Structure 1
């Protein structure tokens, strides 16, 4: 079943606030195998000019994924999760993310298109801090294989 085209332009309200902690930054950096001291050591981060531990560039995947799952889990969209693959992911960082930040995510369905029997779903997420300043914009493209594929 093709995805519901009426979802194009739909937005989803901000998520609950996610508190970025030093522990989460360290865990994420360790999980991706990045031993850069600005992700692990507060003194090193401050010596490099940062106010606190710096989050790695892809750290915000943690909260972005939950927001995306809200959209793809909406039964009205008609997405068969078992036929979906992640096609593309992009981050535009407007400023760094540091430990101590409180963030929310607002998501948008930018586009749904069909090509070669598959649906392509493009989602945008805006990640903002507690002052409502834009921290990062993400875009994800999900590919849903057609039933005849």
Structure 2
């Protein structure tokens, strides 16, 4: 089945809240070699005006992944994980993610473009805190290979 072009404009239900933990931020920082102390040391983060450690910018992908799982589970999407490559990722921040944040994300599909026998699917996940304030928009482009 080819990728469904009717995905464009589809918005998914908000995810369940994700509580950002200090140790998760530290683990992620180590994994991506983010060595600045504000990612691991609460005192360094507080010196910058934050309540706790600050997540590296790409940490938003952890929350966005919850939304991409919704997309992949859509029976009419035409997207097969085994033919999918994560081609591009961008983030637009209002403020950093901080340990203690409770984040909810909502995915919308902003584009489907045919590429040979496959397609490129562009999605945006709006990530908000518990007060519904914007934190970050995570944009992904998935490259979906066509049927053999």
**TM-score, with structure 1 as normaliser:** 0.94
SS at match of 1:67: helix
Aligned residues: 148
What is the CA RMSD across the aligned residues, in angstroms?
Answer: 1.2
- Counterpart position of 2:38: 38
Q: CA deviation at 1:73?
A: 2.1
**TM-score, with structure 2 as normaliser:** 0.94
Matched, 1:103 2:107: no
Q: CA deviation at 1:49?
A: 2.8
In structure 2, C-alpha distance between the alignment counterparts of 1:38 and 1:86, rounded to whole Å: 29
Q: CA deviation at 1:147?
A: 2.1
SS at match of 1:136: strand
- Counterpart position of 1:76: 76
Provide, for residues 72-99 of structure 1, a one-character-per-residue CA deviation record: whole Å limited to 9, x for no partner: 2212111121111111110001111111
Q: Which runs of 5+ in 1 are unaligned?
A: none
Q: Which runs of 5+ in 2 are unaligned?
A: none
